[in-house]
């Protein structure tokens, strides 16, 4: 079976790749395109380490076939910082030490950014439910939640 040619836009840049019909978006991002920021934790949609945005929706890239993204706009963790300038969420995660081993961090950041774009002023409960599909096995949830809430406050302040 010949490889399938797919055209997408990844982090704003037109990107094309070849894939097999059963290859996941995560596999293509990591293995074909060298975008290794998205991680494979479980491979079954439980851990959220592979979170990316596809056409503005937060999804697990391990549960998306790469071939499905023909014509789609994909945003990954690699597109989050503007050059050397970190996103406020990234800064807060560092400042508050909201990570230990770091494997879950890209997924948490992508998911948190999606939340704040939808709801700039979430409650702690809303943050916890929104991020229920992101697992941290170093178990630093409190610091992560605090970092998201503080980043949200800073971004609201900055938007004034």
Partner 1 sequence: MSDIQYHAPKTIKEAVKLLAASKGKGRILAGGTDLLVQMKSGAAAPGIIIDVKKIPEMIGVSEKKGAFTIGAATPAAALGEHKKLRKAWPGVVEAVNLIGSTQVQGRASAGGNLCNASPAADSVPALVSAGCVVNIAGPKGKRSVPVEKFNAGPGKTTLKPGEIVVSLTLPARPKKASDAYLRLIPRTEMDIAVVGVGVSLTMKGDTVADARVGLGAVAPTVLLVEKAAKALVGSKLDEAALDAAAAACSAACKPIDDKRGTIKYRTKIAGVLLKRAALIARDRVNGIEHRGHR
* Residues lying near partner 1 in the complex (CB under 8 A): 1, 4, 20-24, 43-46, 48, 51, 54, 57-60, 62-65, 67-68, 70, 111, 114-115, 125, 129-134
Residues 136 and 58: their CA atoms lie apart, in Å, by 18
Q: Which uninterrupted H or E stretch holds 17?
A: strand 13-19
Nearer to partner 1, 63 or 97 (CB): 63
**Residue 157 C-beta: closest distance to partner 1, Å:** 25
* Nearest distance from C-beta of residue 53 to partner 1, angstroms: 9
Using the minimum distance from each CB to partner 1, give the nearer residue, 68 or 95.
Answer: 68
Q: Which is nearer to partner 1, 48 or 88 (CB)?
A: 48
Element (H, E) at 42: none
Partners of 52 in beta bridges: 59
Please, are residues 10 and 97 in contact by the beta-carbon 8 Å criterion? no
- What is each CA distance from 20 to 2, 17, 71, in whole angstroms? 8, 10, 17
Q: In the complex with partner 1, which residue's Cβ is closer, 44 or 85?
A: 44
Instruction: Quote the least distance from Cβ 98 to partner 1, whole Å.
Output: 18
């Amino acid at each position: 079976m010949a490889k399938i040619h797919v055209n997408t836009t990844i982090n704003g840049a037109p990107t094309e790749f070849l894939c097999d019909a059963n290859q996941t978006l995560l596999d293509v991002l990591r293995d074909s395109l060298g975008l290794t920021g998205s991680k494979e934790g479980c491979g079954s949609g439980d851990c959220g380490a592979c979170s990316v945005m596809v056409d503005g929706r937060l999804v697990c890239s391990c549960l998306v076939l790469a071939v499905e993204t023909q014509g789609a706009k994909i945003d990954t963790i690699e597109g989050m910082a503007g050059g050397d300038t970190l996103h406020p969420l990234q800064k807060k995660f560092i400042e508050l030490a909201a990570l230990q081993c770091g494997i879950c961090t890209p997924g948490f950041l992508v998911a948190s950014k999606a939340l704040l774009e939808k709801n700039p002023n979430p409650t702690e409960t809303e943050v916890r439910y929104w991020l229920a599909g992101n697992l941290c096995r170093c178990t630093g949830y409190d610091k992560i939640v605090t970092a998201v809430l503080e980043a949200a406050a800073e971004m609201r302040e900055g938007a004034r």
